[in-house]
Amino acid sequence: MDILVADDDPGSRNVLATLLETMGHTVATVDDGTAALAALAKGRYPLLISDWLMPGLDGLSLCRAVRAQSGAPYTYIILITAMDGPANYLDGIDAGADDFIGKPVDPKYLIARLHVAERILSLHERLRNQATHDHLTGLLNRGAILEALDQEMQRAAREGHHLGVLMVDLDHFKPVNDAHGHPVGDTVLRETARRMQSSLRPYDRIGRYGGEEFLVVVPGEPPAVITEIAERIRLAVAADAVTTAVGDIAVTVSIGVATSNGSACEAGHLVGVADDALYRAKAAGRNRVEP
Ligand code: GH3
Ligand code: MG
Ligand code: MG
Ligand code: MG
């Protein structure tokens, strides 16, 4: 686990860091709360172990500051201090700490608390995954892909690069369900999603926008390349029939493309433009990309 240790005393800081490293963890150290916040802003540390008494921003204020940043993914915080006793324990927990260890640190006790931290962090991770992913296809769900679009639009505006939005819809999909039943339709949806995902680059984002509609966000490419990517998706889906329990089923998609040159505009507007283009692609005969 990547652990951030904040302690103003070099002696206890190093003892703790060495102890954690011998347990197999990767440790970064800072000497006060302000430096801890800066480190958390730059890197990803699931676990923060912080001293309470530090000059500048102390452990309690650090806990409050971390919790104020409506943060996902979660940072698990263990306060570590000679200020033990029930009153201090309560103050620490109320400030946002998850756990509390008295000084001097007993290695066995530390290991036990780390086990609790790992358990809770993995639960957080699992719940976050469920909340942001579509159960059937494993892609981002509607809320998560729209959030990704918002983030990419802000980044495009900041860095002045292009952004593409693709609205993808399966062609004549209702007859597949009507003829073969929903489970077969689900197999086709899952396989289509897999083909689309594997034809994208790691920094493109794809989510299930609705029943058999998908939204793809393509950052950092000019309109011509965005249209090429849409064409690549179309071909990847149509290349082979999908094997299902009732035999092979041919599948195609229509894709509407919207591009932004990075100047500020609404995510909803861009999605609307892609949706209009999709409508044109359907009207023009389906299995096609419409810019
Ligand atoms: P078009 O080419 O105009 O898009 O035709 P279409 O038949 O694909 O469009 P329509 O909107 O009429 O039908 C969409 C179908 O998608 C209807 C619905 O039963 C199916 N569908 C939506 N979500 C799911 C799902 O989760 N599983 C399955 N099996 N089918 C789904
Ligand atoms: Mg101290
Ligand atoms: Mg459809
Ligand atoms: Mg549809």
Q: What angle do CA 239, 243, 244 make, to 5 degrees?
A: 140
Cα(11) to centroid of ligand 2, in Å? Answer: 10
From the centroid of its chain, how far is CA 290?
A: 29
Sequence-separated contacts (24+) of 94-103 with Cβ below 8 Å? 95/60, 95/61, 95/63, 95/64, 95/67, 96/63, 96/64, 96/66, 96/67, 97/59, 97/63, 103/12
Residue nearest to atom 20 of ligand 1 (CA): 174
For the record, the structure tokens of 263 come out as 């100047």
Cα(65) to centroid of ligand 2, in Å? Answer: 18
Q: State if pTM tops 0.95.
A: no
Digit-by-digit pLDDT tens for the chain (291 residues) are: 999 999 999 999 999 999 999 999 999 999 999 999 999 999 999 999 999 999 999 999 999 999 999 767 899 999 998 876 777 889 999 999 999 998 889 999 999 999 999 999 999 999 999 999 999 999 999 999 999 999 999 999 999 999 999 999 999 999 999 999 999 999 999 999 999 999 999 999 999 999 999 999 999 999 999 999 999 999 999 999 999 999 999 999 999 999 998 777 789 999 999 999 999 999 999 999 999
Cβ–ligand 1 distance for 136 under 6 Å, the answer yes
Ligand 1 atom with minimal separation from the 174 CA = 7
Residue nearest to atom 22 of ligand 1 (CA): 211
**What integer pLDDT is reported at residue 84 of this predicted model?**
67
Q: Which of 167, 182, 212 to mutate to test the pocket of ligand 1 (most atoms within 8 A of CB)?
A: 212
Give the integer Cα–Cα distance in Å for 189 and 94: 46
Give the integer Cα–Cα distance in Å for 82 and 41: 28
Amino acid letter, 130: Q
Give the integer Cα–Cα distance in Å for 15 and 58: 20
**What integer pLDDT is reported at residue 87 of this predicted model?**
74
Residues 6+ apart with CB under 8 A from 161: 219, 220, 262
Looking at all shown ligands, the one closest to residue 173's CA atom is 1
**What integer pLDDT is reported at residue 71 of this predicted model?**
67
Q: What count of Cα atoms within 13 Å lies in the side-chain half-sphere of residue 64?
A: 9
Q: Which of 174, 253, 255 to mutate to test the pocket of ligand 1 (most atoms within 8 A of CB)?
A: 174
The environment of the single-atom ion ligand 3, i.e. residues with CB closer than 5 A, is 169-170, 173
Give the integer Cα–Cα distance in Å for 260 and 222: 9
**What integer pLDDT is reported at residue 106 of this predicted model?**
93
Q: Reply yes or no on whether 212 is catalytic.
A: yes
- H/E element, 198: helix 182-198
**What integer pLDDT is reported at residue 38 of this predicted model?**
96
